[in-house]
Amino acid sequence: MSSKEKKSVTILTESQLSSRAFKDEAYEFYKELRKSQPLYPLSLGSLGKGWLISRYDDAIHLLKNEKLKKNYENVFTAKEKRPALLKNEESLTKHMLNSDPPDHNRLRTLVQKAFTHRMILQLEDKIQHIADSLLDKVQPNKFMNLVDDYAFPLPIIVISEMLGIPLEDRQKFRVWSQVIIDFSDAPERLQENDHLLGEFVEYLESLVRKKRREPAGDLISALIQAESEGTQLSTEELYSMIMLLIVAGHETTVNLITNMTYALMCHGDQFEKLRQQPDLMNSAIEEALRFHSPVELTTIRWTAEPFILHGQEIKRKDVIIISLASANRDEKIFPNADIFDIERKNNRHIAFGHGNHFCLGAQLARLEAKIAISTLLRRCPNIQLKGEKEQMKWKGNFLMRAIEELPLSF
């Protein structure tokens, strides 16, 4: 979106926010919004009217605001509820990301023990082995596409083993995940999306049947046990929870590993500093999370009660979408916000969200990134971009900031 186009736009649409053109120039656009229009109007198709939030302080406030709901059933009356656009929609949306307290607390508690600090640390050796095995395959070629060869397979292998799902199915998850995180209600895509989500539901049904027959010490077996107890988890919630853990368990980490590597490749001084001072790795990861936030826009929140923000009435049923990417570049919070600085102090980014819906897998994502990047720099010290950085393309995607391919030579 050019500067001229930005000035003429009064309402942004879902398709514009999802476009590659928007991703290419999003940071400059957000900078203008933070200065002059921190509450920006959106037209979200079947979802109705919405607002884009770009400032950090507003984001912090709204991510904890009880007037905003994740479950639209807590906002709309029975007569107001929109019909499901996809016949498989109900089977995949009853998860904790789309829920409010007390349901959210109940659902989160069921899986929280698998993501404690102690449990995550027990995965360290396994993640290290996966990282080394992946690099063993590509190192003789002195070339790889970081996304396909390293950043995607590492977290999908980890979450697959945690959940107890067959590793050979990981490519299917890649297709299904893209449909879920970049859902569009454009008529030409609805039929294809419904077909793909139908495949996912059938897969989950088959997987659950198998786990019922042969339970094991994995997370899906534990969730099935909770479902069998009746009051803990419904069948729809079971399928939705498995779907969320598969998608959220790898998608953001793929972007964190890729975006961090890209940032280091584009900032040679920071790359060299990290090679010389590997003890800066934790700080570098936090800066990568801030600088190119893996989740660019939050999932939607519905307004349950009207309120005023920046002199504008936010009406009941309006949608609120928060740009984590913009909040993490807010100049009032982060000095030299557009500078990638791996020694940044007091880095209060909100890349993992804030409040009740703070990312459950944040510790796991940080550990996977730490091992992935450390191993990459140790084993491939001469790594560099193959091609010009201007040739790298951001995916057209509503929720995520993701690079399509990152070719590297070493």
pLDDT tens for each residue of 349-391: 999 999 999 999 999 999 999 999 999 999 999 999 998 877 7
Report CA-CA distances (Å) from 116 to 102, 121, 122, 129, 375: 21, 9, 10, 21, 24
pLDDT tens for each residue of 251-272: 999 999 999 999 999 999 999 9
The per-residue pLDDT for 8 is 47
Report CA-CA distances (Å) from 94 to 98, 244, 315: 7, 10, 25
Looking at residue 385, its amino acid is L
- Reading the block at residue 150, the tokens are 């390293």
The per-residue pLDDT for 1 is 45
| Residues 6 or more apart in contact with residue 332 via CB below 8 angstroms | 55, 56, 57
Peptide bond connecting 102 to the previous residue in cis, omega within 30 degrees of 0: yes
pLDDT tens for each residue of 87-134: 667 777 889 999 999 999 999 998 988 899 989 999 999 999 999 999
Q: 385: domain range?
A: 3-409
The per-residue pLDDT for 180 is 79
Task: Quote the number of domains for the chain.
Answer: 1
Task: Give 270-320 as a DSSP string.
Answer: HHHHHHH-GGGHHHHHHHHHHHT-SB-BPPPEEESS-EEETTEEE-TT-EE
When mean pLDDT is compared across 2-11, 15-24, 120-129, 370-379, the lowest value belongs to 2-11
Helix axes 187-213, 235-248, angle to 10 degrees: 110
The string over 239-249, giving b where at least 16 C-beta atoms fall within 10 Å of a residue's C-beta and e elsewhere, is bbbbbbbbbbb
Task: Please state, in angstroms and rounded to a whole number, the distance separating the CA atoms of residues 36 and 57.
Answer: 15
Q: What is the CATH number of the domain that holds 138?
A: 1.10.630.10
Instruction: Report the Cα 88 to chain-centroid distance in Å.
Output: 22
The per-residue pLDDT for 32 is 97
> DSSP state, 382?
T
- pLDDT category, 336, cuts 50, 70, 90? very high
